[in-house]
């Protein structure tokens, strides 16, 4: 990535999300405040780059991607499972504003998952690319190696307070009455030197 480009991301709503018919798609569900109230993850990764890398990971596997915004919950399992149930392939990804991510499959119990990335401070753009890539491979019926992740015992004490605050802000934006909406990502690149 070149340092001269900085992208911003906004999601344009196109209507109520419906269940996909094509079996070669992965649905990405974003949380109520993702790329909206918040614009970066807990460690400052821009949401624009996070989404771009995940979508790139899916595209590189020649699989179609679709995005939905979930407003009725800020629970990661709900997000990911909603995405999976809307996905034609049954594979969905859920992501919270602070970066915590999950790959889900529609036949699994909600509180289970295919792959869970619970330690948001340790996730890098490369991890997000791999998450997209793995989700797409599951959609194709392949058997990818689970994405390698770091594990840091100190992440919890160090980041728990900030994570709790971010989660509080996120849940403030939950609107129980809303149904998931189909959104399209709009990247606007601006050269900032």
Partner 1 sequence: MTNVSVVGVDIGNSTTEASVASIDSAGTVSYRGVALTRTTGIKGTVKNVEGVVKSVMWALDDAGISPADLDVILLNEATPVISGLAMETITETIVTESTMIGHNPRTPGGKGLGVGTITDFESLPEVGPGEPVLVLVPHIFDFDHVAQQINTAVLRGVNVTGAILGNDDAVLVANRLSVPIPIIDEVGRVDAVPVGMLAAVEVAAPGQSIRTLSNAYGLATIFGLDPEQTRVVSPVARALTGNRSAVVVRTPSGDVEDRTIPAGSLDLVGAKRSAVVDVSRGAVEIMAEVERVSPLVDVHGEAGTNTGGMISGVRQGMAELSGHDLDDVRIQDLLAIDTHVPQEVRGGVAGEVTQENAVALAAMVRTKESGMKAVAEAVESALRAQGATKVTAIVGGVEAEMAVLGALTTPGTDKPLVVLDLGGGSTDAAVRGIDDKTDATHLAGAGDLVNKLIDAELGLDNLELAEEVKRCPLGKAESFFHVRLENGAVKFFDKPLPSTTYARVVALGEDSMNPIPTRHSLERIRNVRRTAKERVFVVNALRALRAVAPAGDLRRIGFVVLLGGCALDFEIPEMIADALAPYGIVAGTGNVRGTEGPRNAVASGLVASYAARVAADHKPNESAAVRIMNEGVAAGA
| Closest C-alpha among 115, 150, 110 to residue 133 | 115
CB of 1 to partner 1, least distance (A): 4
Q: Minimum distance between the CB of residue 107 and partner 1, rounded to whole angstroms?
A: 4
**Using rule CB under 8 A, residue 151 touches partner 1:** no
Q: What whole-number distance in Å separates Cα of residue 182 and Cα of residue 193?
A: 34
Choice from 21, 44, 62, 111 touching partner 1 (CB under 8 A): 62
- Which residues fall within 8 angstroms of residue 12, CB to CB, at 6 or more apart? 183, 184, 186
The 71-100 site mask, x for binding partner 1 (CB under 8 A), equals -------------------x----------
DSSP H helices, the chain, are 47-60, 76-86, 125-139, 155-172
Neighbours of 163 (CB within 10 A): 20
145 lies in the site for partner 1, by CB under 8 A: yes
Residue 127 in contact with partner 1, rule: CB under 8 A:
no
User: Of the ranges 17-25, 37-45, 137-145, 170-178, which one interacts with partner 1 (CB under 8 A)?
Assistant: 137-145
Q: Do residues 122 and 53 touch, judged by C-beta distance below 8 A?
A: no
Binding residues vs partner 1 (CB under 8 A)? 1-2, 5, 56, 59-62, 90, 105, 107-109, 112-114, 129, 133, 138, 141-143, 145
């Amino acid at each position: 990535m070149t340092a001269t480009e900085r992208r911003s991301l906004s999601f344009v709503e196109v209507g109520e999300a419906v269940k996909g018919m094509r079996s070669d798609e992965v649905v990405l569900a974003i949380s109520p405040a993702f790329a909206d109230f918040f614009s970066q993850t807990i460690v400052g990764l821009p949401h624009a780059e996070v989404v771009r890398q995940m979508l790139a990971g899916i595209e590189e596997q020649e699989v179609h991607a679709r995005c939905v915004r979930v407003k009725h919950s800020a629970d990661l399992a709900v997000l990911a499972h909603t995405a999976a149930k809307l996905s034609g392939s049954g594979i969905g990804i859920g992501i919270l504003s602070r970066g915590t991510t999950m790959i889900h499959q529609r036949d699994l119990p909600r509180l289970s998952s295919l792959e869970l990335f619970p330690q948001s401070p340790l996730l890098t753009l490369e991890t997000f690319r791999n998450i997209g890539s793995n989700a797409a491979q599951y959609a194709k019926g392949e058997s990818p190696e689970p994405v390698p992740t770091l594990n840091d015992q100190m992440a919890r004490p160090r980041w728990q307070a900030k994570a709790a605050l971010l989660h509080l802000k996120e849940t403030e934006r939950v609107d129980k009455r809303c149904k998931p909406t189909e959104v399209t990502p709009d990247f606007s690149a601006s050269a900032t030197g």
